[in-house]
Amino acid sequence: MGGGREVPISLEGLRDKNLMQLKKLNTALFPVRYNDKYYADALSSADFTKLAYYGDICVGSIACRLEKKEAGAVRVYIMTLGVLAPYRGLGIGTRLLNHVLELCSKQNISETYLHVQTNNEDAINFYKKFGFEITDTIKNYYTNITPPDCYVVTKYITQSKK
Amino acid sequence: MGASLPPKEANLFKLIVGLTLNCMDRKTEAYELVRQGLKNDLKSHVCWHVYGLLYRSDREYREAIKCYRNALRIDPENIEILRDLSLLQAQMRDLAGFVETRQKLLSLKPNHRMNWIGFSVAHHLNSNASKAVEILEAYEGTLEDDYPPDNEQECGFLERALEELHKKEFKIVDKLVYKEQEVSLLVKLGRLEEAEKLYQALLSMNPDNYRYYEGLQKCVGLYSENDQFSADEIDQLEALYKSLGQQQKYYEGLQKCVGLYSENDQFSADEIDQLEALYKSLGQQQKWSSAVKRIPLDFLQGNRFREAAENYIRPLLTKGVPSLFSDLSPLYDHPGKADILEQLILELEHSLRTTGQYPGRTEKEPPSTLMWALFLLAQHYDRRGQYDISLSKIDEAIEHTPTVIDLYSVKSRILKHAGDLAAAAALADEARCMDLADRYINSDCVKRMLQADQVALAEKTAVLFTKEGEQHNNLHDMQCMYELASGESYFRQGDLGRALKKFLSVEKHYADITEDQFDFHSYCLRKMTLRTYVEMLRFQDHEDDEMSKLPPSQKKKMRQKQRKAEARAKKEAEEKHEESSVGAASKSGKRHVKPVDPDPNGEKLLQVEDPLLEATKYLKLLQKNSPNSLETHLLSFELNMRKQRILLAFQALKQLLRLDAEHPDSHRSLIKFFHKVGSMAAPVTDTEKLIWSVLEAERPTISQLHEKSLIEGNRTFLEQHKGHSQPLPNVQYENLNICSIVMTPPHPTLLFFFLLADSLMHRAAVAEMLYVLEPDKKPEAIKLIEESTNNIVPKNGALGPVREWKLKDCIAVHKFLGTVLVDNEAALRWKVRCAEYFPFSTYFEGSLSSAVPNSAYNRICKRSENGSANHSGGETGDSLASNGKLETFKDLTI
């Protein structure tokens, strides 16, 4: 058994046929059920929502929503990003986030943001590594957990010349 | 219309109209016209030909052949008709006729290659291979074909076949088959050394072909049907497979290919580096052939087995091979191996769980390896009937990686085995939803739904994978035999009409498959795919054997018909009653009540005049196709008993005793038969007297009854099959009044063997017969059953006991207590007891089954209901979403 046991990681798009995979991931990762709008948004975000495969096994996902800003501009809201516990520390989360960021810069989308609970330092540090900054605080964003406040964490990508 | 035409033309016109009508599905008119045509001109070969075509299109081949023959009598050299006739003869396997017709065709048109080939094939099929070869040789010049060798091999001219094969090597295009033929000839000729070399060569072409390994073992004299070897042989085999595993030849060839080969292993430093890298990568792949590593597991024992199994399993768990368990499962029939496997996998699991590595390794395994180990363990415990452990393992695997579909499919299977069919169907549906594009998972789900008697749902699900449009026809056209499962479900639900309908369509599938050959008789000769053609014809002939797969359906059908017959008999009896009281009017009225709709529910099918006669038809099929199946004769027995055909029933009984005299059903039949015979009135007619004398002469030949009364016979049977009781012969059953006689068992050795066999079903049979023979002994019969003990199978496994009783048997016993002995209290006691043993069984309403609130399955349902409440949350959903995300990041170590 040599060191050649590197299991390839690949990203695949979300489709009707594998939607259940995302649902299973979310059930395992997050303590809530997402509504239909979440899945509709994810499906219509096209390449901005991806499932991550460890070999043949689906182990993580990033799900985004494209939001219209004034003057026809678009920004990306990261709804969820998560990797199954046993498969963390293998760079899969980084791979997923990088994918979205690269896509943003390719499509000249200047703003990517998300919400993070104010005490979640690991997550905040994780996003800071990718150039995200805390841009706002929303009081009482959450109803049933403490602290109830969240940060808005945003990354602005400087527009490449049009 | 035809009046204005001259008679001959008018006739032809009629024929054309007839053929057209036939195509338009107006069969009766078509036949009518053609018959008229014949009446007008009996000497017209065209008329006869068309008549034959009509029959052919109706699949009345015998009639069609007759018509063609008539046509040929008038016009003996008509090529068209001869060709049509030859096709029919091939279809009907009228081989002599086929040869004759082919000869005729050849003599008429010797310049057609197809006629030569056709004649040769005809001879070949008619097992006159030497003739076939002669014909081909006569036509050799232009022949470029790999046909002859196969041919000669069959006729026993082995030497010559081999010679011919070598001679034609350059002409034969299919090199692989050439080699396979050659090796098989060499083996038959006893030239084993050459054969061995050739097998080695074949293995280098395909190292995963199990047949080559088998052949090789035969060549070196190390072969055994059931893998029974002496210690010495095992050593030799192990060495053989070790050497095969390191096949020098591959490596040599590979080195040549990459330009790194030298006779004497002289390499430059650079080359050595490259070679090292090459072999490193080869070593990592570690899978030149899985066969070469798998096969030794069959013959190795004890520690050597353990070691080999571990080496085999480890990389496959790492890689994640979902089929690993089914690959290993034959080993569970070898004594002791299941225990070894259990310990082995448990150790792997433990090590992976605590260190993330295999024992004795420093390298981390992928996270998925633990999940696959749990997956394997779940299937292992399922196989051993330890469903609680099995389910806890699979649940753990699902928690570890909830996105792997196989986990849900296996969980579904476990639940099915554990007796919770509804939960199994729900799980299978969950698996299905995870990949809507996978037909296999869809089919699996349909199967589970049918097993849970959710027929409507199952049909809806199955239809998802049919083409748009006429979905149900489409489902039928796929010939996937789905009707078998759906018919069984209807049967369980007591909907005999629909069940019968489904079963009949399975039968139709088989007819259609036989029918489909027809297209090939001309096509294959034209395309020269002769080997495949002959293979196909032979396969079709064996299909009858294959049909032993079908019998379950037909058996059910018959059983169903019998049941129906019973119901009918009852009804008739009732009707007779009514007749006497109310008069004939009510009787006919009752008959008319039955709806006469176009029969979507198979109701018409149920109104067969004589269901027993229908059943006899299917019984004949069964007797022809699976004469060695116990069930065939069991059905034959039941059917003939119902038809009062004493001698036929007796014949079936003798077959049963021949096949398996120790089977509970054989015993039941034996007692029932003689009990019935004993209760019949004394013979009056000559036939009756004849039957009587036959039975009288035969009875002493039945060793089970030698001089014994039925009651004694029944008791002997019990003693022989009483689970783990002490050896006989002097056991007293204080509970049985009948045990006044002490029996010496007829075959002490046999007896010992059966002492170890499962005895619940034998007890049940004895109890049932006790009740049949002496209805007042019902309490004893019940007691006999209730005294059975569910013993623990001895094993060294680490977890939980494995018990002997099978769920299926316990359900049968429960039904027997409730419906035959009609003792509801006993049935209830039995149910409570079995609910303990089978907590997942819905039938016994076990505490963990979906029949009970708060079972595992119902918890799943509840959870998803809770979830859906959140769905409606609209805006809050988003904020909750972020909430959830936070949770992940807490754990996300970067």
Alpha-carbon distance of A70 to B334, in angstroms, equals 73
Q: Does A138 touch chain B (CB under 8 A)?
A: no
Domain range holding B814? 808-867
Q: Does A95 touch chain B (CB under 8 A)?
A: no
Q: Does A161 touch chain B (CB under 8 A)?
A: no
Helix, coil or strand: residue A68 = strand
Nearest C-alpha in B relative to A93:
B892
How many other β-carbons are positioned within 10 Å of the β-carbon of residue B148? Answer: 26
Inter-residue contact B410 to B430 (CB < 8 Å): no
Contact criterion met (CB < 8 Å) for A35 and B404: no
pLDDT above 50: residue B619: yes
- Chain A residues in contact with B874 (beta carbon < 8 A): 35, 37
Q: How many CB pairs under 8 A join A and B?
A: 177
| Listed residue (B798, B791, B793) closest to B341, CA to CA | B798
Contact criterion met (CB < 8 Å) for B885 and A80: yes
Q: For residue B582, what pLDDT band results from cuts at 50, 70 and 90? A: very low
Alpha-carbon distance of B55 to B528, in angstroms, equals 29
H or E segment and range at residue A78 = strand A74-83
| Half-sphere exposure in the Cβ direction for A65 (13 Å, CA) | 17
Find the helix packing angle between B61-74 and B45-57, rounded to 10°. Answer: 170
Predicted local confidence at residue B857, as pLDDT: 56
Contact criterion met (CB < 8 Å) for A21 and B876: no
Write the Ramachandran bin of B800: left for phi over 0, alpha for psi from -120 to 50, otherwise beta.
Answer: left
Predicted local confidence at residue B247, as pLDDT: 58
Residues of A marked as catalytic:
77, 115
Residues 67-86 of A with CB under 8 A from B: 79-86
Q: Average the pLDDT over B32-56 and give the result.
A: 78
Contact criterion met (CB < 8 Å) for A30 and B363: no
pLDDT above 80: residue B312: yes
Nearest C-alpha in B relative to A82:
B888
Helix, coil or strand: residue B645 = coil
Task: Answer yes or no: is B585 within a domain.
Answer: no
DSSP letter at B398 equals H
Task: Answer yes or no: is B820 within a domain.
Answer: yes
Predicted local confidence at residue B188, as pLDDT: 73
Give A81's strand partners. A62
Alpha-carbon distance of B538 to B524, in angstroms, equals 14
pLDDT higher for B276 or B740?
B276
- Chain B residues in contact with A49 (beta carbon < 8 A): none
Contact criterion met (CB < 8 Å) for B883 and A27: no
**B793-796 long-range contacts, Cβ below 8 Å, gap at least 24?**
B795/B338, B795/B339, B796/B339, B796/B343
Out of B315, B872, B887, closest to residue A30 by CB: B887
Give yes or no for a cis peptide into B801 (omega within 30° of 0). no
Percentages helix, strand, coil for chain B (3-state, rounded to 5) are 70, 0, 30
Predicted local confidence at residue B890, as pLDDT: 38
- Chain B residues in contact with A3 (beta carbon < 8 A): 363
Which of B402-416, B581-595, B850-864 is predicted least confidently? B581-595
Distance of alpha carbon A36 from the chain centroid: 18
Which domains are assigned to chain A?
1-77 (3.40.630.30)
Residues near A19 by beta carbon (within 8 Å), at least 6 away in sequence: A39, A43
Q: Determine the number of helices (DSSP H) and then strands (DSSP E) in chain B.
A: 48, 0
Q: For residue B741, what pLDDT band results from cuts at 50, 70 and 90? A: very low
Q: Which pair of structure tokens corresponds to residue B654?
A: 């003798």
pLDDT tens digits, B422-434: 999 999 999 999 9
Q: Which pair of structure tokens corresponds to residue B789?
A: 């003990």
Q: Number of folded domains in chain B?
A: 1
Q: Average the pLDDT over B225-237 and give the result.
A: 75
pLDDT higher for B509 or B741?
B509
As a whole number of Å, the end-to-end CA separation of chain B is 93
Q: Does A6 touch chain B (CB under 8 A)?
A: no
Write down the mean pLDDT value for chain B: 72
Instruction: Calculate Rg over the CA atoms of chain A.
Output: 16
Inter-residue contact A122 to B863 (CB < 8 Å): no
Q: Does A64 touch chain B (CB under 8 A)?
A: no
Task: Answer yes or no: is B20 within a domain.
Answer: no
Which of B101-115, B327-341, B355-369, B374-388 is predicted least confidently? B101-115
- Chain B residues in contact with A150 (beta carbon < 8 A): 882
Inter-residue contact B150 to B125 (CB < 8 Å): no
Q: Does A139 touch chain B (CB under 8 A)?
A: no
Residues 31-60 of A with CB under 8 A from B: 31-38, 54-59
- Chain A residues in contact with B399 (beta carbon < 8 A): 28
Which of A7, A15, A20 is the best mutation test for B, with the most CBs of B within 10 A?
Answer: A20
Q: Which pair of structure tokens corresponds to residue B217?
A: 């073992």
As a whole number of Å, the end-to-end CA separation of chain A is 52
Chain B: nearest CA to A48, how far in angstroms? 17
pLDDT above 90: residue A62: yes
- Chain B residues in contact with A114 (beta carbon < 8 A): 882, 885
Task: Answer yes or no: is B564 within a domain.
Answer: no
pLDDT tens digits, B673-700: 888 887 777 777 888 888 888 887 887 7
Which of B885, B891, B893 is the best mutation test for A, with the most CBs of A within 10 A?
Answer: B885
pLDDT higher for A33 or B758?
A33
Q: How far is CA B750 from CA B659, B701, B713, B716, in A?
A: 15, 19, 17, 13
Q: Which pair of structure tokens corresponds to residue B180?
A: 């396979």
Nearest C-alpha in B relative to A115:
B882
Task: Answer yes or no: is B246 within a domain.
Answer: no
Predicted local confidence at residue B573, as pLDDT: 39
Give A133's strand partners. A154
| Listed residue (B53, B42, B123, B56) closest to B92, CA to CA | B56
Alpha-carbon distance of B425 to B446, in angstroms, equals 8
Nearest C-alpha in A relative to B315:
A1
Contact criterion met (CB < 8 Å) for A56 and B286: no
Contact criterion met (CB < 8 Å) for A5 and B893: no
H or E segment and range at residue A117 = strand A111-117
Q: How far is CA B812 from CA B721, B807, B808, B845, in A?
A: 18, 9, 6, 15
Q: What percent of chain B lies above the pLDDT cut of 70?
A: 65
Chain A: nearest CA to B322, how far in angstroms? 11
Task: Answer yes or no: is B472 within a domain.
Answer: no
Predicted local confidence at residue B138, as pLDDT: 66
Range with the largest mean pLDDT of B131-135, B448-452, B613-617, B882-886 = B448-452
Contact criterion met (CB < 8 Å) for A145 and B883: yes
pLDDT higher for B297 or B412?
B412
Name the pTM for this structure: 0.72
Alpha-carbon distance of A78 to B246, in angstroms, equals 53
Which of A19-33, B113-127, B435-449, B862-876 is predicted least confidently? B862-876
